[in-house]
Each structure stands twice: as C-alpha cells, then as structure tokens.
Amino acid sequence: MNKVLAVLLILYSTLRISVSLTWVWLTINWRVRKARRAFESELIKVGVSEDYARRLSTNYIVLKDRLFSLKRGFFKLLRG
C-alpha cells in the first residue's frame, strides 16, 4: 500500500509542476505580446513609422527567447 501511495504522490507532484510550468510559459508569452503591442503603439503615437516600430519591438521577442534558452541551459547544467 505504501508503494502505491508513493507512486500516486509522485504522479500528483509531477502533474502539479507540469501545470505550473505551462501556466508560467503561457503567462510570459501573453505578457510579452501585450508589452510588444503597447510599445509599438506608443512609438507610432510619437511619430515613428509602423515598419520601424515593429522592427524595434522584435527585441521583446528576442529577450523572451533568451530567457527560455537560459532556462534550458540551466536544466542541461543540472543534468550534467
């Protein structure tokens, strides 16, 4: 009985961590998208062309990608 309970506890913990990590990933993607659009609209209000505003706002995506690649590198380091 103890082994079954231990396996169920491991499954529950794994599921909980997976859901949390997925939620974090979705939240970061959503907030980056909102920040990028807000940045573009502010630049356009100031008078920057739409095309140039889009090119400048791609830096938000680059930073997000670097953040996720840093996470991947950290987990690779832990694995050895």
Task: Provide the pLDDT for residue 77.
Answer: 63
Mean predicted confidence (pLDDT) in 11-27: 93
> What are the residue boundaries of the structural domains of the chain, listed by start?
2-79
Pair 59, 35: CB distance under 8 Å: no
The pLDDT confidence band at residue 74, using thresholds 50, 70 and 90, is low
pTM of the model: 0.68
Mean predicted confidence (pLDDT) in 47-64: 90
Mean predicted confidence (pLDDT) in 30-43: 92
For residue 11, pLDDT over 90 is answered with: yes
3 state SS for the chain:
CHHHHHHHHHHHHHHHHHHHHHHHHHHHHHHHHHHHHHHHHHHHHHCCCHHHHHHHHHHHHHHHHHHHHHHHHHHHHHHC
Close Cβ partners of 29 (under 8 Å, ≥ 6 residues apart):
64
